[in-house]
Amino acid sequence: MDILTEALASMRTGHPSSVRTNGRAPWGLRLPPVAGAGFHVVLHGTCWLVPLEDAPHLEPVALSPGDVIFLRDGRGHILADHPSTPAAVETAEQFQPGSPIGTVSVGGDGPRTSLLCGNYHLDQRRPHPLVRQLPEVVHLPSGHGRHPELSAAVQLLGAELDNPRVGSDGIVPALIDSLLLYILRAWLEAQPGADAEGWAAALADRAVAPALAAIHDDPAAAWSVESLADRAGLSRAAFARRFTALVGEPPMAYLTRWRMTTAARVLRESDAPLSAVAARAGYGSEFAFAKAFKRAYGLAPGSYRRQVRVA
């Protein structure tokens, strides 16, 4: 079971949106918060990402060609050729014939910077703990050989955007969609092995990773701390301590979380009867399932389905 893919799929509420941003120095663009997670890919030139006044704990970040920035909470920020350049409010994108995404052009007549900017539509009301444990701002420099697959995806994106051809309308969205997995994989793999913490360590841990895979592979199974500990090859107490330390919550709490997450996804994406949804979430009683779901989401399953379908 690919836990990273499953975790992201459980949060998705739509396809990513993106825009090509072209700036010529001096230029500055103030970008509002987005519902989900934001990202920027520097295709050509250099620039700075400058946090807004409401984030004094964050520092400006210098960006170079090939660099990728991921903003976990879609926080508002400024992009500019220099931290001191005044920033204008975001302008409306323009769509050109033959181009798979819109463009925004700002600035003067100085050196050019080109970026792919956008956001992934993720449900931040109940973020998966893997995503919640990420830094607010993930900066992945292009460094030679540092993240080869991510760099290759960025180069492919740049080539398609610079020279749109037959098939670009399908290729570009697919690359942007895949970029999120490359970003998170690169960040997870960049954590130092012996010093890795949280989910970066959990996914590589010989005891915790098999237990997580079992929960994701079959959330409806009658798992217990004992049965998961057996898979991990540890005593019940040792396994529970190790799982809680790395994942951030006890095994049964995470099992319940994933069961409810699985149920919510089925409710959003299908017309399966509530009895079938309950069974897929590991509940033999529709009443018990409805009670657990309402405790997690604040709505009965049927009300949740109607609400997300309207939205």
As a whole number of Å, the end-to-end CA separation of the chain is 30
User: Which pLDDT score, from 0 to 100, does residue 217 have?
Assistant: 94
pTM: 0.86
77 DSSP β-pair partners: 31, 51
Task: Render pLDDT for 56-72 as a digit per residue (tens, 0 to 9).
Answer: 899 999 999 999 999 99
Task: Render pLDDT for 72-88 as a digit per residue (tens, 0 to 9).
Answer: 999 999 999 999 999 98
- Read off the tokens for 81: 């050729």
Task: Render pLDDT for 119-169 as a digit per residue (tens, 0 to 9).
Answer: 998 888 888 989 988 999 999 998 767 888 999 999 898 888 888 889 988
- Read off the tokens for 255: 């099992």
Rounded distance, CA 268 to CA 106, Å? Answer: 39
CB 243 within 8 Å of CB 251 = yes
CB 271 within 8 Å of CB 307 = no
pLDDT at 194 over 60: no
Percent of the chain predicted with pLDDT > 70: 94
pLDDT at 1 over 60: no
Cis peptide before 60 (omega within 30 of 0): no
Rounded mean pLDDT of 224-251? 95
DSSP labels for 195-236? T--HHHHHTT-TTHHHHHHHHHH-TTS---HHHHHHHHTS-H
94: which residues sit within 8 A by CB, 6+ positions away? 102, 103, 104, 105
Structural domains of the chain in order of their starting residue, each with its CATH number: 3-190 (2.60.120.280), 201-310 (1.10.10.60)
Confidence of residue 111 (pLDDT cuts 50, 70, 90): very high
DSSP labels for 111-175? SEEEEEEEEE-B--SS--HHHHTS-SEEEE---TTTSHHHHHHHHHHHHHHHS--TTHHHHHHHH
Average pLDDT, the chain: 90
Assign 298 to helix, strand or coil: coil
Rounded distance, CA 188 to CA 186, Å? Answer: 6
